[in-house]
Structure 1
């Protein structure tokens, strides 16, 4: 019984050792994609807030000008 478990665990560890680098690479690619999408959405939102919807200046523009 113990030797069977040892064989199963060894088999799983060797398979994990083979697939783990690919899995980690895919995970890092996913994180990079999400970071890029988040930055893109942030830029779109920032442009939307900065461009005035009406002739008056938006609050964001006023705040940016007060910082300068």
Structure 2
């Protein structure tokens, strides 16, 4: 499982945008959002670099 801190992630719109981006990369991925902590956990067959690239493309740069 990959864990990222995303300072820009703060609401349901953010989680929706991130979900769409990562599900496009890996439709079977599992996501856990912790909005107060700005934390995202990702279980995916995609590698870390691919996940980071998808997050950045969606407008969320991991800290």
Which structure's residues are more often strand, by fraction? 2
In terms of Rg, which structure is larger?
1
Which structure ranks higher in relative contact order (CA pairs < 8 Å, sequence separation ≥ 6)?
2
